[in-house]
């Protein structure tokens, strides 16, 4: 019985790869799956702080590869979900300190103990990208509906098609008010350009920033729209047929006011 | 002033930004030092030894650093 490894990538930095990895991982764990999150961004680790696990790190990915510790010693268990573990990146090494072959071995080892291995890929298409992709069975590409991330996503999709096959797409930070005004690419526009399968839409949501501040990913907030979107994505990955809803607007002032008084 | 700020002032609730700042300060302190596991363990040992010269320390394993032999 072997798990399934998924790399979360984008080309462009800052579009929400780490947030996506954290939330999908928690989503899968909430639905009872054993999940390992791997921060492959060596030198610029961030998954730990987004997950709120930064104070529990002892060893990291490069320590495991170098044989300085056992894999299980480096895995940080999430106390909120015992099914969920994180393998942190090293903060002091370079992307070149590991090879795609070593990453493949590591992922294979993780797949023996976990149902899902989610690999948070660094930005760019150089060695860090090649390492992150090496052990994966499939890829999720994250983009926002802006011109430069979509352009970079297209480049990454091209590279992935040569190695892993067709990736699935998540469009993050959709601002439906702007879409309605015709000032933002809508989902169909992005799909027309990139021609890949859509895995999910995530609305632009200030709760994501607050969740980052607190180290409690937004999927743990039952009231957040983005958290619900991530939960739908997790269920789709589990094979459930969850339709992709048309996102409504972020709501005008009245909506936000109501939310403030009744939900907080 | 946004509605959020007004509500926060009214009910005296604190935003999450102070939490973010505190967490960043701790993480960056570690990052800037660039200490290895061995160095952190050595530091940990020295601190414990220094404190134990003055007060008795409960050596409950739950209180010791994970990874320490």
Q: Angle A81-A66-A141 (CA atoms, 0-180°, nearest 5)?
A: 50
Helix locations, chain A, DSSP H:
17-30, 47-51, 61-65, 71-74, 100-113, 127-134, 147-163, 176-180, 187-194, 206-214, 225-237, 253-263
Residues of A176-198 as b/e, b for ≥16 C-beta within 10 angstroms? Answer: bebbeeeebbbbeebeeebebeb
Query: What integer pLDDT is reported at residue A259 of this predicted model?
Result: 52
Residue A263 has pLDDT above 60, yes or no: no
B42 and B21 belong to one structural domain: no
B49 and B27 belong to one structural domain: no
Any CB–CB contact under 8 A between A73 and chain B?
yes
B25 and B39 belong to one structural domain: no
Number of domains forming the structure of chain A: 1
> Looking up tokens 């989610």, which residue turns up?
A118
pLDDT digits (tens, 9 = 90+) for B29-61: 888 887 877 888 898 899 989 998 998 877 655
Percentage of residues in chain A having pLDDT higher than 90: 90
Residue B69 has pLDDT above 50, yes or no: no
Any CB–CB contact under 8 A between A251 and chain B?
no
B9 and B23 belong to one structural domain: yes
More confident residue, B69 or A55: A55
Chain A residue numbers with beta carbons less than 8 Å from the beta carbon of B19 are 213-214
pLDDT digits (tens, 9 = 90+) for A128-170: 999 999 999 999 999 999 999 999 999 999 999 999 999 999 9
Smallest Cα distance from A254 to chain B, Å: 11
User: What are the residues of chain B with a beta carbon less than 8 Å away from any beta carbon of chain A?
Assistant: 3-4, 7, 15-17, 19-20, 23-24, 26-27, 30-31, 34, 36-37, 65-67
CB nearest to A256's CB, from B3, B23, B65: B3
- Distances in Å between the alpha carbon of A240 and those of A24, A62, A231, A233, A246? 14, 36, 11, 9, 18
Residue A20 has pLDDT above 50, yes or no: yes
B40 and B69 belong to one structural domain: yes
Provide the 10 A C-beta neighbour count for residue A149.
24
Contact call for B20 and A214, based on CB within 8 A: yes
Say which CATH number the domain at A15 has: 3.40.50.300
Q: Angle A83-A89-A45 (CA atoms, 0-180°, nearest 5)?
A: 105
Q: Are strands A138-143 and A81-87 parallel, antiparallel or unpaired?
A: unpaired
Q: Crossing angle, helix A147-163 and helix A187-194, to 10 degrees?
A: 40
Q: Which residue of A lies nearest to B65 if distances are taken between CA atoms?
A: A58
Residue A135 sits in which domain range?
A: 4-263
B4 and B27 belong to one structural domain: yes
Query: What integer pLDDT is reported at residue B37 of this predicted model?
Result: 75
Contact call for A212 and B7, based on CB within 8 A: no
* Helix then strand then coil, % of chain B, to nearest 5: 70, 0, 30
Chain B residue numbers with beta carbons less than 8 Å from the beta carbon of A215 are 23
Residue B43 sits in which domain range?
A: 35-69
pLDDT digits (tens, 9 = 90+) for A207-234: 999 999 999 999 999 999 999 999 999 9
Number of domains forming the structure of chain B: 2
């Amino acid at each position: 019985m072997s798990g399934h490894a998924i790399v979360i990538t984008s080309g462009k930095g800052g579009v929400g790869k780490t947030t996506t990895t954290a939330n999908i991982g928690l989503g899968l764990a909430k639905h009872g799956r054993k999940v390992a999150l791997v921060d492959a961004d060596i030198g610029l680790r961030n998954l730990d702080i987004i997950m709120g696990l930064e104070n529990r790190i002892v060893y990291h990915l490069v320590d495991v590869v170098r044989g300085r510790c056992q894999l299980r010693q480096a895995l940080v268990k999430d106390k909120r979900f015992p099914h969920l573990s994180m393998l942190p990146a090293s903060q002091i090494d370079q992307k070149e300190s590991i090879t795609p072959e070593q990453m493949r071995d590591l992922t294979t080892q993780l797949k023996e103990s976990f149902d899902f291995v989610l690999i948070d890929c660094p930005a760019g298409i150089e060695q860090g990208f090649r390492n992150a992709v090496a052990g994966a069975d499939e890829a999720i590409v994250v983009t926002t509906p802006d011109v430069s991330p979509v352009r970079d996503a297209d480049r990454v999709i091209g590279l992935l098609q040569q190695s892993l096959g067709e990736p699935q797409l998540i469009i993050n930070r959709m601002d439906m008010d702007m879409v309605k005004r015709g000032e933002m690419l809508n989902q169909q526009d992005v799909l027309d350009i990139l021609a890949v399968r859509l895995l999910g839409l995530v609305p632009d949501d200030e709760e994501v920033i607050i969740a980052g501040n607190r180290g409690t990913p937004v999927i743990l907030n039952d009231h957040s729209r983005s958290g619900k979107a991530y939960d739908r994505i997790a269920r789709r990955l589990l094979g459930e047929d969850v339709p992709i809803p048309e996102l409504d607007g972020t709501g005008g002032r009245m909506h936000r006011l109501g939310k403030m008084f009744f939900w907080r | 002033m946004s509605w959020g700020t007004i509500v926060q002032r009214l009910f005296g609730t604190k935003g999450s930004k102070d939490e973010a700042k505190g967490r960043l300060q701790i993480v960056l302190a570690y990052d800037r030092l660039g200490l290895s596991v061995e160095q952190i363990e050595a530091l940990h040992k020295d601190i414990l030894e220094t404190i134990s010269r003055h007060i008795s320390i409960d050596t409950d394993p739950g209180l010791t650093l994970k990874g320490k032999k």
